[in-house]
Amino acid sequence: MDLSIEKKLIKADKAFKEWRNVPFGDKQKLIAKAAELFKNKAEIFGEIITKEMNKPITQAISEVGKSAMMMNYYAEADNVLKAEKIESEHAISEIHYAPKGVILGVMPWNFPFWQVLRFATPAILAGNTVVLKHASICFGSGNAIEQVFLEAGFPEGVFQNLEVGHKEVKEILEHKTVKGVSLTGSEKAGAEVASIAGKAIKKSLLELGGSDAFIVLEDAKLDDAAKFGALARLQNCGQTCVAAKRFIIQKSVENEFLPKLIAEYKKFVIGDPMDKNTKISGMARPDLADDLENQYKRALENGAEVILPLERLSENQFNPGLMYVRKGNPILQEELFGPLGMVMIADTDEEIVELANNIPFGLSNSVWTKDLDRQQYYINELESGTVNINRMTSSDPRFPFGGTKSSGYGTELSLLALKEFVTAKTVLGK
């Protein structure tokens, strides 16, 4: 291991030994200060995001603002980590929540501030310290986040950005100072990191891919469903784990709904990411665009039909595509991470649920119907960490976020996230 990296890990471990004893309320005050700094510098940090991964500047600024809002939620949260007294025959009968120590965050490029802070904020508030391995194109974002923590008054070593590549992750995770890992990324990356953590008997949290269903039933408000469906597929150029990747439309409204969806889709015109009027720009890297184009071609070779062609305009830009996909097409077992959507048609609720669930992923789903009984049916039957009714998927710090199946395990956001990287310690005595 590079000596400079080992020094940072040791620094994080040393900081942990003091940070874990800082009162919960004092930690919250520092988080509130950091949130204020992020909010005040949202435009500056938004430009960093846009320059690194091509996100339209208004979306990048909003990402920083949302991160500040999330941090304020934790700055004002109830202390669910205080010792719990349990009724028993013992004179001392309590549960204590002890932070684990140094936690490694392996974070992606698609939301360079949000993903990092969504993991780091509750982990740090719980008393842990954090070292970040960010995506290689987002080192500027990682360094900016570290500077905010220092400027807010956090002790040195509580949050550190490590400018390292994927090859160094194994050594870092195996280091004696590191007690757990949180990864947001692909299924492949999650499996590799979880394997390393498992062999070392270290806690892991995985937030992986998704292929979310956007289900439109015959009694839905079709105009709203079309508007939010296009946005749910194409915001951040479709590079979102909870993007609406599969539109499952009830057959009776196909002819009415699909033209509305196409019309909304066509409002997303490729533009300069630094222009505040731009709704969609290029993908983060040319190789990612290559991957998406190859998936599109394979889908067509296996029977998919073009609704709107995925037209490549440059090395990383596409006019967004939409295609009919039938049950059995191998593309349904993959995640499309870019501006390409799939349309599937089904008749009954049972057929729709079967299509929605018949994939490896289980992150989030969106169902559009006014019928209360049908809403409850889908809530019960859909295999995903989140079910949205008459709204597109979006995360909210008040509610737990996570998936099932190949979409990962563990909880981010909400008060539950505060207990992800702690040990529940039983204390009994006479």
Q: How far apart are CA 3 and CA 44, in angstroms?
A: 32
Instruction: Count other Cβ atoms within 10 Å, centred on residue 394.
Output: 15
Alpha-helix runs per DSSP H in 216-335: 222-234, 254-265, 286-301
- How far is Cα 97 from Cα 148, in angstroms, rounded to an integer? 27
In eight-state DSSP terms, residue 14 is H
AA identity, residue 359: I
The closest of 337, 351, 340, 404 to 215, measured between CA atoms, is: 351
Given 63, 207, 334, 420, the catalytic residue: 207
Strand partners, 123: none
Q: How does DSSP classify residue 216?
A: E
Q: Is 174 a catalytic residue?
A: no
138 is catalytic: no
Q: Are 336 and 299 in contact (CB under 8 A)?
A: no
The Cα 20–Cα 99 span in angstroms is: 7
Q: One of 187, 237, 241, 335 is an active-site residue; which one? A: 241
Q: How far, in Å, CA of 344 to CA of 346, rounded?
A: 7
Which residue, 129, 130, 136, is CA-closest to 109? 136
Which has the closest alpha carbon to 73: 119, 25, 121? 121
Question: Whole-angstrom Cα distance, residue 391 to residue 2?
Answer: 47
Q: Give the active site residues.
A: 207, 241
